[in-house]
Structure 1
Amino acid sequence: MTELSGGPSLPQRRKLVTEIPGPLSRELMARKQAAVAAGVGTVMPVFAARAGGGVVEDVDGNSLIDFGSGIAVTSVGNSAEAVVRRAGEQLARLTHTCVMVTPYEGYVEVCEELARLTPGDHAKKSILLNSGAEAVENAVKIARYHTKRQAVVVFEHGYHGRTNLTMALTSKSMPYKHGFGPFAPEIYRVPMAYPYRWPTGPEHCADEAAAQVIDQITKQIGASETAAIVVEPVLGEGGFIVPARGFLPRVAAFAKEHGIVLIADEIQSGFCRTGQWFACEDEGIVPDLITTAKGIAGGLPLAAVTGRAEIMDAVHSGGLGGTYGGNPVACAAALGAIETMRELDLAARARHIEEIMKPRLLALAEKHPLIGDVRGRGAMLAVEIVKPGTKDPDPAATAAVAAACHRAGLVVLTTGTYGNVLRFLPPLVIGDDLLREGLDIVAEAVASV
């Protein structure tokens, strides 16, 4: 099966013509090390030349199966036809004016689409920004302004960005926070309903975790002092944790009861990735504010905060914005990406990907005790790797599995608070044959470790 959308006319097959990385990639890596700050890490030391559908072609001519999508960014495929067409047309008209100086229709169109697509039938408004961290930061600003409160509640294992405020919101220290403090104040962390690691078992996870969260907010923070609760409906960098069913509705109900703004961080899980337009739809959660980025624009930098009109309008004129936010070319790309998602029904495609991948991963877990858990929804799936016979995280084995996949020509990513989760984020347009071949590579890599 070939890719479902346009983009570079690349053969949809894995092909290795050199070792990984090849000589040209190694040469470019030497140049990178000489010119690029060392803090900018690299997961897989190959340099991309072209990409499309479910493959990435490197500078040495190797064609790699893509199970990463640039961290859930190219969900519609690299250089998808509608994205290229709309962005190219916009490039020829104008590249920038700054929406705060002379606005343009594309910004308004994207905000109109977000009002239609995001959960809830209430009146909504949006602001457009450049990155997920910027979206989360602005969502917190808006919530604080609207409520006239300061405290912000976040969750263990959560990830929300790399700015000073979003580092404070993020749970994991290394590599995101280590050495970068002091951090923004009035941030409070509460337990996440993590079924695999809940002390009394997954069957008690939702009720006990929700009770702990509500108790901590009530007693330690004060519900009347809390501006916002920020939560990922499916956690991303924390390890693709799917909160125990029933947990999020209880947290949402508590927030509504106490006038706390519920912010759903859908930066990694949004735009069809989990089999629905947004992951919070799975349990009928209607957030007050929702932050989006990554998959929104097919690879161009764009992010958004969308929410209840009365909350979004609380801030004074001039209080929100940024020079590049909602760049016209990125807006055009977003409209092309949304067009592609609709036309190809990529939410359904994500569910189909889960139907192919999850049974194979579960079978692999049955065979190999180093896989402690298989989880995720749609095309946002993961395996947690542990020391056999325990739940002790095994980041070394996880890195070894990932390295074996890389050598075989499969782009995979690791994640998790303990660095022991192998995550899978294939483009939603990937062909079934490539999916199955990629899973074969994963199985071989796990067996080798």
Structure 2
Amino acid sequence: MAVTLSEVRRRVAQVHQGADLEQQLCFYDAWASEYEEDVSVLEYGAPQYAAACLAAAFGANTQEALVLDVACGTGLVAQELQAVGFRHFHGLDGSPGMLEHARHKGLYQDLKQCLLGQEALPSPEGCYDAVVIVGALSEGQVPANVVPELLRVTKPGPDRNASEMAFAGIFCQTLLFTSILWPLSITGLELAINDIAVDRKVSTMPGRALPLRCSVRNHSQEEELFWLREDGTVDLKDGNRMTSSSLCVFPVSVEDNGISFTCRLARDASVQVSVTLDVLFPPILTGEDPPSAEEDGDVTLDCHAKANPPAQMTWRKDNTTLMLEDSRYEIFQTSELYQLKIRGAQKSDSGIYDCLAEYPGRTEQKSFHLVVGDKTVPFPTEAVIAAAVVVFLTILFAIVARRERILKCFRKPSESPSNTAL
């Protein structure tokens, strides 16, 4: 689905909302894959203007110049500089995600991560023929105190002193900075959770309290808010609805992992912002011993495992890692089940089986006791029933065939009349 202009405006607005450094880097890392699509929707022309400005200053000497691209992002400025004849680029940025996308373009001979304004530039004095910074020199992004560092690593020009060069460079940067901020002036009403106006994940741990505060931005009147936990409405007190609304998730539990909380404008359901809980917890292993098995039968051991992030799972038998190359062993794994199936179990398969979950800094295990006994001979139930039926029918037929004789045995002898005279 194509991104809309309003969505891009919200993301660009988020860049300039003064979040702390860790949040900003996380935001840029997440934005890197969609950054170029978003700026194309904005018809962002600052990289082209910068390239034209620098090409005009260098004239025919572009191919030998070494250019430092500060806050290089995904490499849009280097693309435009290459189009006007520049060939040698070094890049700096604070976001590893942005640098990775820039690296894939193959334009830069050197790329480094640098927290601009907090660290010195990782270059010696007078190293670069030109230094460019496009669309990033602003409050909440790259601070103005980086300018002396930009001048330090730039070679002095042959025809202008350092102050003239600084003035020209800052004038060009100010013009480009104004062009990138233009979309913000027409950004509409929006919501922010904990001062961040984009959907995101929030990491926490079981047992902690997680406060969530939703606020309305760019509003001209009081606005009513409500919260959703997944698809269900959260009950709020009357004084906790207008323009600003707060929740506290306490205590956070393992079951809260993946649950989303959404703050929504009452009069317009399309205006909303969400956070999804990323509850970090070590492995929780459960399961029961399998019933005693017979030789040649199949055995299943179910190890129920939950962890976030997911743990590395293995099986061990009698303290030795189980070699699964044997075709008799099968592994089935889901997000919450690690199952071992043994086909055609043998008495030698009896023993203690450990389900191991390796997690950063710790290993959890759950033990299962398996007993494989002799194969029992099954009772011939069908044969016994068949024989009983035959015997019964034989007796029945014998009785029927000899019924006359049998009946005579039960008849009384007839009495003859008496001839005795009185």
Give the number of the structure whose residues are more often strand, by fraction: 2
TM-score of the pair, normalised by structure 2: 0.24
Q: Which has the larger radius of gyration?
A: 2
